Amino acid sequence: MTTEQPAATSSYQAPNLTLIGEGHVRRYLETNGEVGHIWNGVTCLLLWTTGRRSGQRRVTPLIYCRDDQSDNLVIIASYGGAPNHPAWYLNLTADPQVEVQVAADRFPATARTAVGEERTRLWELMARQWPNYNEYTRRTTREIPVVVLEPNRG
């Protein structure tokens, strides 16, 4: 006699993709974040990096949260669990001076990759906001980077 095993469950929730990519950036900029700052129930920022090969500025909308222990912002270089890091992450590892826009507030920042206990703490903070990050780890063998954005405010 065989017993049936329960089907494996996934915590992945498909997001609403009606506002993504260049359209997301355009609407965010046009409205100072009134459209686009909240996306699928989470907060998004715009991140400008400098292309490591082209030298051109690139902008990417990303889910973020505020570190509850500092004024820093946290983003995840998940790329949906793809095997490679996203281009924006490779760009900021080559040049960590970035620009960030949160709603209507635009400012320079320095990016760094969190490690050790800080990475673990910030991963948990972000995964509470966007549980799909935990699913993305099952899709890849790479360690998904957790990025800290430290505002450069005079």
Average pLDDT value for residue range 138-149: 95
CATH top class, domain 21-151: mainly beta
Q: Is the pLDDT of residue 2 over 60?
A: no
Q: Is the pLDDT of residue 143 over 70?
A: yes
pLDDT at 153: 79
Q: Is the pLDDT of residue 63 over 70?
A: yes
Among residues 65, 57, 11, the alpha carbon closest in space to that of 41 is found at 65
pTM confidence score? 0.86
Q: Is the pLDDT of residue 154 over 90?
A: no
pLDDT at 6: 41
Average pLDDT value for residue range 133-146: 93
Average pLDDT value for residue range 138-154: 93
Distances (CA, A) of 53 to 21, 48, 153: 21, 15, 28
- Write out pLDDT tens, residues 21-58: 788 899 999 999 999 999 888 999 999 999 999 999 99
Q: Where are the domains of the chain?
A: 21-151
pLDDT at 17: 56
**Strands 65-66 and 57-63, how do they pair?**
unpaired
- Write out pLDDT tens, residues 68-123: 999 999 999 999 889 999 999 999 999 999 999 999 999 999 999 999 999 999 99
Can you read off the two tokens belonging to residue 46? 């715009």
